Structure 1
Amino acid sequence: MNSKELKMQKYFDATTSAVRKQDGFIYRLISGTLFINIFVYAIFGYSLSTSQLHYNRLAEIATQNMAKALDTNLCDIFDKIDIGLSAVGFESEKQIARNGINKESLNAYIAKQIHQLPGLYGIRVTDIQGNLLYGTDIPDGKPINVSDRDYFRQLRENSHQKHAVSKLIQGRISGKWNLTIAKRINNPDGSFAGIVLGMFDVNYFDKLFSQIDIGKNGAMGIRDPDFKLVALQPKGEEPGSQIGSDVISKKTRDMIRANPITATYKTVFARDKKERMVTFRKATNYSFYVFSTIAPSDYLSAWRKELIIALILAICFTLTTVTSAYMMLKSNVTTLLHAEAQRYGEEMRQQNEELIAAMLRIKRLEGIISICSHCKKIRTEQQNWEQLEKYITEHSDAMFSHGVCPECAKAHYGISV
């Protein structure tokens, strides 16, 4: 292998080594950038997941607190009504014990009580057959009979039952949706003498709901034991949002069967097909279920802001790392190119020096050289005569060794070589 081939092989080996170093650096740089980004995204993901669980938990607590507040308010209202009806029942029993009920006197007493009881649009008293005889807004003519109502039968057949509350019903006089709260009236001997009943207008719940912040897309409702909708805020246009509707999700029915008192869960509402966080609670001392709900669009609004901020930060971080990696790669390439340029420049310098030296040698031996035709000495530029061997040795890289050619050996030494 000649000198040129050695140089080419050396250059090829150096180039191959530089390419391998560059490939290794690119691999490490890409791997490191990916690892850092994946690690940061994992941290962001874990943080957002934990934050979402936190907001879900806050939503659960919020619905539980709202349901408890609604339960407390509902029971306070019904307890107050129960006390008022007890007073009317006690007055009826006093009049029965004296000389029988005085219609004008009892009606006046009822009118005084109804003004103190929120939500009631009527208080009435029946006889033993269930005919409405006393109280507010009783039409003239044939008496209205309520003996077929569940609350009447319960109180007539159970002397120890304190009160009875109807399911959602429509009044036979007013036609309004109402809940009827009834108290038993006894004769002096303890036998059944009739009932006193108060008709609670379910529209009153709208006023009650307005005092509780349920969020922009939340809802609060009350259902009777048959799951008929007693009250809802806000009301929708769909049939399932109307008073008296028994449209309810299967999950809610299953949750009430499994947890008769209270439960908190997520479900898609049957009436509008939207998911909500729900807490139901059975009213204390009354056979109603109160519901409080909150929509993800409300309780996750702050979390969504966190998500947007996290995504922006993640994108900025990714752009920063990619840009930094690109700059590092560019810097590394520049460094390698600079090193290669220096190495190549050094090789070129050496080659140039060798070339110049060769050219100088060539120049020193070029032109007309004066040589003695007899002794073969050469005349130098300084006009000195030097041996041929010395001149060529001084003016080139050639070296001489001496021997005897066959002709001279025979001529001068008489021998044949």
Structure 2
Amino acid sequence: MVNLFAYLMVGNSLFNSHKHYDKLAEVTTQNLAKSLEGNVSDILDKMNIVLFSVGEKTEEQVASHGIDKGSLSSYAKQQVQILPEADDISIADSAGNILCGSDGITAPVNISDRTYFSRLRSDAGQQLVVSHLLKGKVTGKWKIIAARRYNNPDGSFAGVVMGTINVAYFDHLIAHLDIGKYGAVGIRDAEFQLVALHPKGKEAASQIGSNVVSQKTRDMIQANQVTATYKTVFARDNKERMVTFRKVAKYPYYIFATISPVDYMTSWRKEAAVGLVLLALFTAMTAASARFLYKSKMSALLHSEAKRYGDEMKQQNEELNAALARIKRLEGIISICSYCKKIRTEEDSWQQIEMYFSEHSDAMFSHGICPDCAGEQKRIFREAASSHTEVTKYP
């Protein structure tokens, strides 16, 4: 019972400790996701301000004398210097042709097939549109586009100004984060395409553009539009993680912060090992104590039994000695009178046989008459009676 109580106490302590470390892991991933979400949101907010400024400059030129590619490119370059997160800023006309940009290179590129361009062209109320993960048409590199519409003086669609963020910037942003050996921090777009991941693995699911996520993650995002914390088995390596996702405010991106039980349960495993060692020592001590108590009790029982047996033997010996003493009192040759049957004692006196045996044994006497004696006494009585009759008859 003592051991069972100790096991229950240690088990309950380890169970509560396990829950505590799980909760710490939840809080860690939540704080990390929230912090990173704030950084990404700030970057896109600043990009919106810069694009607004470039758009205003472009509309001024359109309203006055038409677009001056040289001056507009210089202005865009100045804005990029203000926003180092941006890779470049470009201006496209209403047909989607790139007119100029901060890099000073005007490549014959048309973006009219891009979703963000179509949305801005068709909806005058749209202010900022942020694309999903895209590959550049010229460089082939992965990037994110943030774009704003600029208009003609009559309010009709004149084109877009767009800022490009190379995904390498996000890799740099999250590279310093320490999430454990098996944890990870990542950014995905609304289509679950991987934008950035730290640390990266060699498997295909860890590469930029991969949309491999667990079904549970898809279900959790569908059920929770802003944020959620849960455990899931990663599709890329089939290992369980504690996961917190958080949607970037106003933008179609999700931040994922994950941590592995292998990492965050290290301290708990040490506690469990110490607890089990202490339990083993406690069990050994109680087992030794129980053995000692058992042996002590058995020794006491044996001692008590031996004492009882000794007392019985002593009593039996005393009774035997007493019996032997009584037997010895009557052994040897006893002198008895052949006529009166008195017995001669050691003091040379003569005692009745009844008295002698009463004094020298536990025997007691009662008197009766045997058949022979009874017959003899009757004969004597008859003879005596006959003689008395004759004397009376003949005086």
Range that drifts further, 81-90 or 284-293 = 81-90
1:230 to 184, 192, 195: 195
Residues 77 and 118, structure 1, Cα contact 8 Å, conserved in 2: no
Report the 3-state secondary structure (helix = DSSP H, G, I; strand = E; otherwise coil) of the residue aligned with 1:329: helix
Compute the TM-score of the two structures, normalised by the length of structure 2: 0.88
Report the 3-state secondary structure (helix = DSSP H, G, I; strand = E; otherwise coil) of the residue aligned with 1:181: strand
User: Counterparts in 2 of 1:301-340, with a 5 A limit?
Assistant: 301-340=266-305
Residues 36 and 255, structure 2, Cα contact 8 Å, conserved in 1: yes
State the Cα distance separating 1:395 from its structure 2 match. 2.0
Instruction: Tell me which residue corresponds to 1:77.
Output: 43
State the Cα distance separating 1:192 from its structure 2 match. 2.1
User: Counterparts in 2 of 1:31-50, with a 5 A limit?
Assistant: 33=1, 36-50=2-16
- Is 1:201 the counterpart of 2:171? The answer is no
2: CA distance, partners of 1:411 / 1:262: 134
State the Cα distance separating 1:157 from its structure 2 match. 1.7
1: CA distance, partners of 2:85 / 2:200: 19
1: CA distance, partners of 2:164 / 2:209: 16
Instruction: Tell me which residue corresponds to 2:327.
Output: 362
Q: CA RMSD in A?
A: 2.3
Instruction: Tell me which residue corresponds to 1:124.
Output: 90
State the Cα distance separating 1:229 from its structure 2 match. 0.8
Q: Deviations over 1:384-417 (max 9, x none)?
A: 433332222222222222333344445556259x
1: CA distance, partners of 2:375 / 2:124: 165
2: CA distance, partners of 1:411 / 1:242: 142
Range that drifts further, 49-58 or 276-285 = 49-58
Q: Deviations over 1:316-370 (max 9, x none)?
A: 3333333333333333322322222222211111110111111112222222233
- Is 1:171 the counterpart of 2:136? The answer is yes
Equivalent residue letter for 1:118: P
Residues 246 and 256, structure 2, Cα contact 8 Å, conserved in 1: yes
2: CA distance, partners of 1:106 / 1:46: 69
1: CA distance, partners of 2:135 / 2:305: 97
Equivalent residue letter for 1:196: V
Range that drifts further, 62-71 or 382-391 = 382-391
Equivalent residue letter for 2:301: L
Range that drifts further, 52-61 or 283-292 = 52-61
2: CA distance, partners of 1:173 / 1:388: 150
Range that drifts further, 120-129 or 90-99 = 90-99
State the Cα distance separating 1:374 from its structure 2 match. 3.7
- Is 1:395 the counterpart of 2:356? The answer is no
Report the 3-state secondary structure (helix = DSSP H, G, I; strand = E; otherwise coil) of the residue aligned with 1:371: coil
Residues 167 and 179, structure 1, Cα contact 8 Å, conserved in 2: yes
User: Counterparts in 2 of 1:258-277, with a 5 A limit?
Assistant: 258-277=223-242
Report the 3-state secondary structure (helix = DSSP H, G, I; strand = E; otherwise coil) of the residue aligned with 1:244: coil
Instruction: Tell me which residue corresponds to 1:99.
Output: 65
1: CA distance, partners of 2:373 / 2:218: 132
Residues 409 and 415, structure 1, Cα contact 8 Å, conserved in 2: no
2: CA distance, partners of 1:344 / 1:294: 74
Q: Deviations over 1:261-291 (max 9, x none)?
A: 2221111111111111111111101111111
State the Cα distance separating 1:96 from its structure 2 match. 2.7
Gaps of 5+ in 1: 1-32
- Is 1:297 the counterpart of 2:262? The answer is yes
Relative to structure 1, the CA distance from residue 80 to residue 197 in structure 2 (aligned partners, 3 Å threshold; closer, same or farther) is: same
Equivalent residue letter for 1:322: A
Equivalent residue letter for 1:80: K
Compute the TM-score of the two structures, normalised by the length of structure 1: 0.84
- Is 1:148 the counterpart of 2:113? The answer is yes
State the Cα distance separating 1:65 from its structure 2 match. 1.4
Identity %: 56
Residues 188 and 254, structure 2, Cα contact 8 Å, conserved in 1: yes
Residues 175 and 199, structure 2, Cα contact 8 Å, conserved in 1: no
1:53 to 9, 19, 29: 19
Report the 3-state secondary structure (helix = DSSP H, G, I; strand = E; otherwise coil) of the residue aligned with 1:53: helix
Equivalent residue letter for 1:342: K
Residues 77 and 103, structure 2, Cα contact 8 Å, conserved in 1: no
State the Cα distance separating 1:58 from its structure 2 match. 2.3
2: CA distance, partners of 1:267 / 1:80: 34
1: CA distance, partners of 2:153 / 2:100: 19
State the Cα distance separating 1:139 from its structure 2 match. 4.9
1: CA distance, partners of 2:46 / 2:165: 12
1: CA distance, partners of 2:375 / 2:266: 118
Residues 80 and 102, structure 2, Cα contact 8 Å, conserved in 1: no
- Is 1:64 the counterpart of 2:68? The answer is no
Instruction: Tell me which residue corresponds to 1:405.
Output: 370
- Is 1:216 the counterpart of 2:181? The answer is yes
Range that drifts further, 99-108 or 58-67 = 99-108
Instruction: Tell me which residue corresponds to 1:25.
Output: none
1:381 to 333, 346, 350: 346
1: CA distance, partners of 2:341 / 2:162: 155
2: CA distance, partners of 1:405 / 1:285: 138
Instruction: Tell me which residue corresponds to 1:349.
Output: 314
Equivalent residue letter for 1:313: L
Which is greater in Rg?
2
1: CA distance, partners of 2:67 / 2:223: 48
